[in-house]
Amino acid sequence: MNTNYEISEELFDYLLVVNPDASVAKDVTRVRQFVAAELGDPGMSGAPVHVALFRSAFPERFQEDFVMMLEGVARKQSGFAVYTAKMDAYRHADGNNSVFINVANPKPLVELHRSIMQAFELKPQSFRPHIMLARGLHDAEVNMIMPSLAQQVFVRSFNCHCFSLLKRPASGGKYERVRDFVFGDIEHMVSSLFNYAA
């Protein structure tokens, strides 16, 4: 038995996200409301709309170091456009399913994720950027909603020029914004192709 007195620190769940603009977020919320209505679960449409980049749990005293490292990543990053495409479902190892909107041009987000992983000296993981519509669904629920979702395309675009750090107690609760990290290399910002007439 360990007789040392250890002070157990509260852990916080930190989440790094890219937020789409208000117009795309509103359209995603509409799709979520459709899914929620079909499944009779109104609670699922209220979650924040974002692309999750990285998640980790640690004590708050490490937050300042974490923020400084993220500032370094953001300073070297230039902006890019994100395009969405079709809706899809994924079956997890535990048998539950997620339904999400695919990112049609994943490369800039995959590279940003890789930069974050390198900053924290973590091994690169497979990363598939997406916007979550619903999670924890049973096969029957997915079979109910996917035929109508799969027929629709969700073609939208938004410019990404920052990411946001959110946190909540690891025990649960709502995420609160810690801060936004604006990319430093703004002059190389790639404009959205949808801003030009064909």
Supply the CATH number for residue 104's domain: 3.90.1140.10
Query: What's the longest Cα–Cα distance across the chain?
Result: 72
The mean predicted confidence, pLDDT, of the chain is 88
Angstrom distance (rounded) from CA 99 to CA 45: 13
Range of the domain at 61: 11-182
Higher pLDDT, residue 198 or 55: 55
Residue 192 lies in a domain: no
Of 159, 161, 156, 155, the residue nearest 81 (C-alpha): 159
Residue 159 within any structural domain of the chain? yes
CA dist., res. 47 & res. 138, Å (int): 19
Sheet holding 51-59, edge to edge: 157-160, 80-91, 97-103, 130-137, 51-59, 11-18, 162-169, 176-182
Other CB atoms within 10 A of residue 96 CB = 15
Q: pLDDT for 30-81, tens place per residue? A: 999 999 999 988 777 778 899 999 999 999 999 999 999 999 999 999 999 9
Per-residue model confidence as pLDDT tens digits over 6-44: 557 889 999 999 999 999 999 999 999 999 999 988 777
- Domain assignment present for residue 196? The answer is no
- Compute the average pLDDT of residues 100-121: 95
Per residue in 76-99, pLDDT (tens digit) is 999 999 999 999 999 999 999 999
Residue 189 lies in a domain: no
- 166 within domain boundaries: yes
- Can you tell me whether residue 69 is helix, strand or coil? helix
**How much is the pLDDT for 194?**
43
Q: Phi and psi for 126 in degrees, rounded to 5?
A: -70, 135
pLDDT at 8: 73
Give the number of domains in the chain.
1
| Residue listed under structure tokens 């509260």 | 10
Closest alpha carbon to 164 in 175, 176, 179, 148: 179
DSSP state, 157? E
Q: Is residue 1 part of a domain?
A: no
* Structure-token match 């497979």, residue found: 126
Do the domain assignments include residue 188? Answer: no
Residue 111: its pLDDT value, please? Answer: 96
Q: What tokens appear for 79 in the block?
A: 């902006």
Range with the poorest average pLDDT among 21-25, 161-165, 172-176, 193-197: 193-197
pLDDT of residue 7: 58
Name the 3-class secondary structure at 65: helix
5, part of any domain: no
State pLDDT tens for residues 99-110: 999 999 999 999
Say what the pLDDT of residue 65 is: 94
